[in-house]
Amino acid sequence: MATDVGPDPHRSLPPGPARAPRRPRRRRLAATLTATVGGVAAAAMVAVFAASPASAASPLRQLAEAQGRYFGTAVTQNMLSNSTVTNLAGAQFDMVTPGNEMKWDTTEPGNGSYNYGPGDQIVSFAQSHSMRVRGHNLVWHSQLPSWVSSLPTNQVQAAMEAHITNEVTHYKGKVYSWDVVNEPFDDSGNLRTDVFYQAMGTGYIADALRTARAADPNAKLYLNDYNIEGSGAKANAMYNLVSSLKSQGVPLDGVGFESHFIVGQVPSTMQANLQRFAALGLDVAVTELDDRMPTPASQANLNQQATDYGNVVKWCLAISRCVGVSQWAVGDPDSWIPSAFPGYGAATMYDSNYQPKTAYNSVVTALSGGSTPPPTTAPPTTAPPTTAPPTTAPPTTAPPTGGAGGCRVGDTISAWNTGLTANLTITNTGSTPINGWSLVFTLPSGQTITSGWNATYTPTSGPVTATNLGYNGSLPAGGSTTIGFQANHTGNTAAPTSFSLNGRACALG
């Protein structure tokens, strides 16, 4: 898939798609990252990470590996200069996809003139953090240098084979898999009539795969596309193509499902669709996951995003040949969505300050099988914590002040066999700021808090007091903050009741 920024002038996007349309060109996955999260700001965020308490949740990579899967991310060259991003990526993910650095216009800008410097930097970063690399990509109709598009038809095959052979050989032994042909189908499910199809017909795909296998017999070879996640014409076209390739003995190891979604529109047929590809003897992978929403993000959309992310991960775990999931960016500041879809964004698990959202909690819960504490106030930037912070720690702030008026508390409960997680969103509906807060609520009978985030909790059952931490004690008029906890239960999975903030009763909702 692409990582370009900026709309493709040759394409128009259909309004209101059920799933993400073909992504416009996006040259810089994180073009604005240095400007928005650089220098002093980056140092400040590192300090926040260091000061924030960590929960007992393990990093995504560790949880995924325990399930025999990987959890990856996309990284571009300009992101490597930001330690906040690289620390987070290295701690949480175990697979890296280069955003642009292995595409044809970067690696062979002139006929026979190769440039592997940018891609080598991504590989070096991955190796230094014990991460594998998904090579992305070898043959694609977009981001082609002009010399390829202008070749005489009878020279295209030789150029394609030379490019594949040179690049795959350069990275031999360093790349786990290759997206050999990227996005071969158009939005209607027809093979694109690009320079390769015009020169070689449908046979260019088999030729590309055979050439890649000859250059590196050990790398996994994939076809990768979007809008094939659920059942439909385009998914059927891909299924028929890979079935034909397999029957011909063409080397093909897997299919990548890009998974660029809109909140609430993840196809319910996704698991069944991935399973039918796996039944062909192929690996399947979620390769470029994000889930966009109108911005500014509403709490309802963030909650739906958490459901969407959790479902995608659970569906992958349910399929033995689903090898892993990769998010397309580290956090919201790196995402291509705002540039490609004005008015949309907030598409990843990490917000504009690289703090975990509810979607992160949902993914951890899914990877854990619902058995370990899912969220963390800030993801670890180095080694995962070895112990959980005490849930009965004393308050770290001054006595509460301010907040004339009222409050509102909304809750989201996710329960399983003997455990549950609760996220509570506290809103100051009063006319003045609150500086330091304590939320008192009643835990239903049979529930006992085992860990918490974004607050301290005491005691762990019955009437509970949640007290702010040092970084989230200020609530401006109309402002909100979200806290949460994991609890054991004996069958009662109801939400807490009788909320009061600084002694004032709160409305629900």
Instruction: Write out pLDDT tens, residues 188-245.
Output: 999 999 999 999 999 999 999 999 999 999 999 999 999 999 999 999 999 999 999 9
**Inter-residue contact 47 to 317 (CB < 8 Å):** no
Closest-CA residue to 351 (of 31, 36, 28, 15): 36
What pLDDT does 12 receive? 28
Distance CA 354, CA 348 (A): 10
Of the pLDDT bands very low, low, confident and very high (cuts 50, 70, 90), residue 423 is: confident
Q: Which tokens in the block code for residue 229?
A: 């996640």
Of the pLDDT bands very low, low, confident and very high (cuts 50, 70, 90), residue 401 is: very low
User: Residues 6 or more apart from 484 whose CB is under 8 A from it?
Assistant: 361, 375, 421, 422, 423, 424, 452, 453, 454
**Inter-residue contact 345 to 293 (CB < 8 Å):** yes
Highest mean pLDDT among 177-181, 400-404, 405-409 belongs to: 177-181
- pTM for this structure? 0.67
Token look-up 């762990």 returns: 460
The answer, yes or no, to whether residue 369 has pLDDT greater than 90, is: no
Q: Between 33 and 278, where is the model more confident?
A: 278
Of the pLDDT bands very low, low, confident and very high (cuts 50, 70, 90), residue 420 is: confident
- For the annotated catalytic residues, the residue numbers are 183, 288
The end-to-end CA distance of the chain, in Å, is 40
Tell me the per-residue pLDDT of 252-289, one tens digit each, with 9 for 90 and over.
999 999 999 999 999 999 999 999 999 999 999 999 99
The answer, yes or no, to whether residue 320 has pLDDT greater than 80, is: yes
Sign of the Cα pseudo-torsion (166, 168, 169, 171, in order): positive
What pLDDT does 425 receive? 87
The answer, yes or no, to whether residue 334 has pLDDT greater than 90, is: yes
Average pLDDT, the chain: 84
- Quick one: average pLDDT of 4-33? 37
Q: Between 29 and 279, where is the model more confident?
A: 279
**Inter-residue contact 175 to 164 (CB < 8 Å):** no
Strand partners, 402: 434
The answer, yes or no, to whether residue 451 has pLDDT greater than 60, is: yes
- Quick one: average pLDDT of 116-125? 98
Helices (H), 248-357: 270-278, 299-317, 337-340
User: Residues 6 or more apart from 460 whose CB is under 8 A from it?
Assistant: 391, 392, 448, 449, 450
- Quick one: average pLDDT of 135-142? 98
Cα-based torsion angle of the residue sequence 145, 150, 154, 158 in order, rounded to the nearest 10 degrees: -10
Neighbours of 26 (CB within 10 A): 23
Of the pLDDT bands very low, low, confident and very high (cuts 50, 70, 90), residue 375 is: very low
What pLDDT does 488 receive? 87
Distance CA 479, CA 200 (A): 60
Distance CA 413, CA 384 (A): 26
Q: Between 440 and 483, where is the model more confident?
A: 440
> What is the DSSP secondary structure assignment for residue 191, as one 8-state letter?
B
Pairing of strands 260-262, 220-225: unpaired
Neighbours of 457 (CB within 10 A): 25
Q: Which tokens in the block code for residue 313?
A: 């991960």
Q: Which tokens in the block code for residue 194?
A: 């690009």
- Quick one: average pLDDT of 44-64? 55
The answer, yes or no, to whether residue 439 has pLDDT greater than 60, is: yes
Distance CA 75, CA 167 (A): 19
Pairing of strands 220-225, 463-467: unpaired
Of the pLDDT bands very low, low, confident and very high (cuts 50, 70, 90), residue 486 is: confident
Pairing of strands 407-416, 504-505: unpaired
Neighbours of 394 (CB within 10 A): 8
Cα-based torsion angle of the residue sequence 195, 255, 324, 90 in order, rounded to the nearest 10 degrees: -10
What pLDDT does 379 receive? 32
DSSP string covering 204-223, please?
HHHHHHHHHHHH-TTSEEEE
